[in-house]
Amino acid sequence: DASSKVKININIRGTEEDPLFPLDQIGQVLGIPNISESLNDFDEDELRVEQDGQHFLTEQGLYRLLGQSRKPVARPFQKWVLKVLKDIRVNGRSEAEAALEMQRALVLQKEAELNTIRTKIYEELPKLDNVYVNKEVAELATDAHKIGKAIDTKKREAQLNTGSAQGSRMIHIRPTHNAKIVEDIVKVAQRRYHIASIGGWEHYNNNVEHSVDVIDIASTVVDTLASSFEYMTRGELFRKVFANLRAIQGDGHEEEAGHEAERMLEEEEDPRIAEVMAYLTDKVDFEPQRTAADKGKKCYAWLTDKELIKGYWQAN
């Protein structure tokens, strides 16, 4: 009756495909104290001993034992086991399928992100730093000027004015992604004009316009390279650098510079150019002496480019 019911936990181990039932717990359910004595003729696929020494019935072994048992509890217990295993397998498969579907979705998402990255070749980085050219009032009649870097140029200009006897003013400010690198490039390019390093800025004595040009060119190249991605081809990167340099040139030679850049790229990418150069190296004497040894030369350096190329095509 209900008052005589005893709750016994069955700790099913193994996997959903190969469940294992603790022998001692099955013995308690069936009311068999020495259950191992009833399993002497059970095969290895019906009875299993784990590494920790515990004995387990496999699913096949449990069904065999329940089929042989005359205990009243055997039949309802077998139905319970069948239901539990069915639930485990159905739910387990559902969970596994859901996890697999989620994994597939993540893989597709990662592939989409990777494809997006691969198609992205250039993204302009923010220019939050600045390189500036500062000139003191006392230096107005000279080429002397200072070059420094600052995130807040207004604050920096106020500091420079405070330390200046007659006052000073920033005459050029160039935003960039990395002012330190640009300043280092300027140091190398302007080394012959460098006077001193004082108070966080560099002092130069040369035409200010030249310093401005060096700063603008260095900033443009640094910012363009920093904004490029690894999937950008060499040609695309060169064209982007040239385009950005042309954008800041602003002296009426943009079209000329563009044609020159395109010509350079065409020469670089056209394998025929290498053949022409090899021909010129072999056939052209750029310092002709008209000696006996030079008689084998078909062309001389004073021939026009058109004549040289014509000679190349005729020879080949």
Flag whether pLDDT at 267 surpasses 70: no
Flag whether pLDDT at 80 surpasses 60: yes
Residue bearing tokens 């006392």: 138
Please, what is the Cα angle at 84 between 78 and 85, to 5 degrees? 90
Nearest CA-CA partner of 285 in 312, 310, 262, 303 = 303
Task: Provide φ and ψ at 74, rounded to 5°.
Answer: -60, -45
Flag whether pLDDT at 266 surpasses 80: no
Q: In the predicted model, what is the mean pLDDT of the chain?
A: 79
Nearest CA-CA partner of 299 in 282, 274, 276, 275 = 282
**pLDDT at 190 (0 to 100):** 92
More confident residue, 159 or 53: 159
Residue-wise pLDDT for 278-288, tens only, equals 766 666 555 55
**pLDDT at 165 (0 to 100):** 72
Tokens of residue 298, six digits: 């078909």
Q: Are the beta carbons of 220 and 245 closer than 8 angstroms? A: yes
More confident residue, 24 or 280: 24
More confident residue, 56 or 310: 56
Own/partner contacts of 10-17, CB < 8 Å, gap of 24 or more, are 12/84, 12/88, 13/50, 13/56, 14/56, 16/85, 16/88, 16/89, 16/92, 16/93, 17/89
Question: Coil, helix or strand for 100?
Answer: helix
**pLDDT at 289 (0 to 100):** 54
Residue-wise pLDDT for 126-176, tens only, equals 999 999 999 888 888 899 999 999 999 999 888 888 877 778 889 999 999
**What is the DSSP-derived secondary structure letter of residue 9?**
-
Task: For residue 62, count other CB atoms closer than 10 A to its CB.
Answer: 22
pTM, 2 dp? 0.47
Flag whether pLDDT at 69 surpasses 70: yes
Residue-wise pLDDT for 206-243, tens only, equals 999 999 999 999 999 999 999 998 888 888 899 999 99
Instruction: Determine which helix (DSSP H) or strand (DSSP E) holds 160, and give its type and residue range.
Output: helix 153-162
